[in-house]
Amino acid sequence: MAVRGKITISQVTKKAFSNSKVFQNLAYGAAKKKAARLQKEALKELDTHVVTQELEKGSSGGGSSLLGGRGNFFGFLGFREGDQPVMVIRDTFRNSIKVRNTKGKLKKLTPTSFIWEFIVDIPSSVDIEKETKTLIWSSRSWVRGVEKGITNAANTIFVDSENSRSGVALQTTRNIGFINFRPTPYVTEILDKLRKQLV
């Protein structure tokens, strides 16, 4: 399930009027180029986001700004040492943000210009949550937890342990209150910004 966005290309031309296929191809090329640029910008924003950067430190990270300057965010989310949780989001961006077909729809034609509209597929929040479900979270999405909140955050302690999936964090039955985690806008915000640029 993907959310449909619309991309509008305005192109001035004189030679193309005699052959609709010519300016259809021109419009499609421009639409494809714009979609590729927006995809690249979304990937860059994902890569530079603080959540991504802290997760890609893996078990070696410390003093997490997302946890009030304490602990390891990768271990806090319960990933196993060596996991690459952001990779599935990158793959979804690369594979899903694209112009749907080459035809599009002619919206306006004047003696000097035309406007052609294309449908662009963009991942929805449901798509992202589906791709980021994990058994660690009882088949819930870790991205949703980052964005909406994590109920047992106060039960986390950070200690090197063979019993820890990440090797650096454990969940206890007691409220430790060592860290402070607040919901953080992440993938949903990036995709919302992308959709606004397609209008």
C-alpha of 196 from chain center: 15
Through-space distance between the first and last CA atoms of the chain, rounded to whole angstroms = 20
Please tell me the distance from the alpha carbon of residue 186 to that of residue 89, in angstroms, as a whole number: 11
Give me the mean pLDDT over the 111-135 stretch: 85
Predicted confidence at residue 199, as pLDDT, reads 67
Domain spans, the chain = 2-196
Predicted confidence at residue 116, as pLDDT, reads 82
Asked if pLDDT for residue 180 goes beyond 50, the answer is yes
Q: Which helix (H) or strand (E) is 123 found in, with range?
A: strand 113-123
Give me the mean pLDDT over the 38-58 stretch: 95
Work out the mean pLDDT of the chain and round it to a whole number: 78
Asked if pLDDT for residue 173 goes beyond 60, the answer is no
Q: Which residue has the higher pLDDT, 6 or 113?
A: 113
Locate tokens 């603080």: which residue?
A: 50
Please tell me the distance from the alpha carbon of residue 48 to that of residue 67, in angstroms, as a whole number: 18
Q: pLDDT-based confidence at 126, cuts 50/70/90?
A: very high
pTM: 0.79
Asked if pLDDT for residue 48 goes beyond 70, the answer is yes
Predicted confidence at residue 1, as pLDDT, reads 35
User: Taking the alpha carbons of 111, 113, 108, 116 in that order, is the dihedral positive or negative?
Assistant: positive
Is residue 163 classed exposed, middle or buried when 0-12, 13-18 and 19+ CB atoms within 10 A define those classes? Answer: exposed
Read off φ and ψ for residue 189, nearest 5 degrees: -65, -40
Please tell me the distance from the alpha carbon of residue 171 to that of residue 159, in angstroms, as a whole number: 10
Contact 11, 125 (CB under 8 A): no
Render pLDDT for 82-107 as a digit per residue (tens, 0 to 9): 889 999 999 999 999 999 877 778 77
Predicted confidence at residue 134, as pLDDT, reads 78
Predicted confidence at residue 105, as pLDDT, reads 81
Predicted confidence at residue 100, as pLDDT, reads 86
Q: pLDDT-based confidence at 17, cuts 50/70/90?
A: very low
Read off φ and ψ for residue 82, nearest 5 degrees: 100, -15
Predicted confidence at residue 117, as pLDDT, reads 86
Lowest mean pLDDT among 14-23, 37-46, 77-86, 176-185: 14-23
Asked if pLDDT for residue 166 goes beyond 50, the answer is no
Query: b/e per residue, 140-161, with b = 16+ CB within 10 A?
Result: ebbbbbbbeebeebebbebeee
Query: b/e per residue, 170-185, with b = 16+ CB within 10 A?
Result: beeeeeeebbebeeee
- Structure-token pair, residue 74: 């990768």
Q: Of the ranges 104-108, 152-156, 161-165, which is most confident? A: 104-108
